């Protein structure tokens, strides 16, 4: 695809291929893996602004990073402008120059709290949140969807409001809230947003190959693409998109297992890497049997032994 650096205020990202924030998956080891395969920017899992305020241990664990990762964006969610600004100023977010505000999460418990995609129905509050967060001195970006339902698409107007409130980049998921992650992606909405604003527009949704990314950029003139579920099945999709060097699936798995073990306790390593293995074996011959064996594994050593047989 058409690779170009993206400059967001005073930060220049090496390319325009991003890893999406994925709850339960985009922890430090996985982000580091994708970054090594060419991702220009990776995002943390979605972090609660209230969780930061009240010192949630789980929230702080989601924000682990170090010098090996390079520039990373933290994604936060909430609906109180003052709490959101306080989150941007929190010491745990100091390592992250870019703070992304989630305005697209379709999960019912988030939506019912007036957070995530619910903010698309309250653009005045969304603007207030962005303008308050900008006062923190951080680079503020926003991720949102094209609307709540297909009969009321808000992409262009919402994009202009976010730019006006001070957002430096927007990412648009090309489906409505009610579609969750199913159905076709609406390219027209990407294109209309791109024409409406001067800040970079990144398109998210339906990217599972280099051909998908090329078509999206060609038809919408978006500044970049954000890869989500495809990266779970194969983090080396970033090699295909950026021309970076690929390696064997076994070497990839061993690297991720090692890095996860360096920053997480053994129980987390086992549970998380079993989940990742289930993605990686999909489509392989004998996948069901290997998946069952992975989920019976009790230690990282057992997981590695199965991987060496499965991915050899």
> What's the DSSP call for residue 185?
-
Closest to 120 measured CA to CA, from 84, 83, 157, 81: 157
Annotated active-site residue in 34, 72, 88, 105? 105
Distance spanning both ends of the chain, measured CA to CA: 30
List phi, psi (to 5°) of 5: -65, 155
**Angle CA(131)–CA(93)–CA(107) in degrees, nearest 5?**
70
Long-range pairs for 158-162 at CB < 8 Å and ≥24 separation? 158/120, 158/123, 158/126, 159/193, 159/196, 159/197, 159/201, 160/196, 160/197, 161/123, 161/126, 161/127, 162/126, 162/127, 162/130
105 assigned to active site: yes
- Are the beta carbons of 286 and 292 closer than 8 angstroms? no
- Are the beta carbons of 22 and 47 closer than 8 angstroms? no
Tokens in use for 52?
């930061």
Active-site residue set: 105
């Amino acid at each position: 695809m058409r690779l170009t650096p993206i400059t967001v205020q005073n930060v220049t990202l090496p390319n325009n291929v991003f890893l999406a924030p994925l709850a339960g998956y985009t922890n430090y080891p996985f982000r580091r893996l994708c970054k090594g395969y060419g991702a220009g920017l990776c995002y943390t899992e979605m972090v609660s602004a209230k969780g930061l305020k009240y010192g949630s241990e789980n929230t702080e664990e989601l924000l682990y990073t170090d010098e090996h990762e390079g520039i990373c964006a933290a994604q936060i969610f909430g609906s109180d402008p003052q709490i959101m600004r306080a989150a941007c100023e929190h010491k745990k977010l100091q390592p992250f120059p870019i703070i992304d505000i989630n305005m697209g999460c379709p999960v019912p418990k988030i939506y019912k709290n007036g957070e995530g995609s619910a903010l698309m129905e309250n653009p005045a509050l969304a603007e207030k949140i962005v303008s308050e967060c900008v006062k923190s001195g951080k680079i503020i970006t926003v991720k949102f969807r094209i609307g709540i339902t297909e009969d009321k698409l808000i992409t262009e107007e919402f994009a202009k409001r976010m730019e006006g409130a001070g957002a430096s980049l927007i990412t648009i998921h090309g489906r409505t809230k009610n579609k969750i992650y199913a159905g076709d992606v609406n390219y027209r909405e990407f294109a209309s947003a791109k024409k409406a604003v001067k800040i970079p527009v990144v398109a998210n949704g339906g990217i599972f190959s280099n051909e998908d990314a090329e078509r999206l950029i060609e038809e919408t003139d978006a500044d970049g693409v954000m890869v989500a579920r495809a990266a779970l099945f194969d983090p080396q999709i970033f090699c295909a998109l950026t021309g970076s060097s690929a390696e064997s699936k076994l070497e990839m798995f061993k690297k991720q297992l090692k890095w996860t073990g360096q920053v997480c306790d053994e129980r987390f390593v086992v549970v998380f890497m079993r989940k990742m293995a289930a993605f990686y074996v999909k489509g392989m011959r004998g996948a069901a049997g290997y998946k069952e064996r992975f989920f019976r594994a009790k230690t990282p050593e057992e997981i590695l032994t199965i991987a060496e047989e499965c991915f050899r």
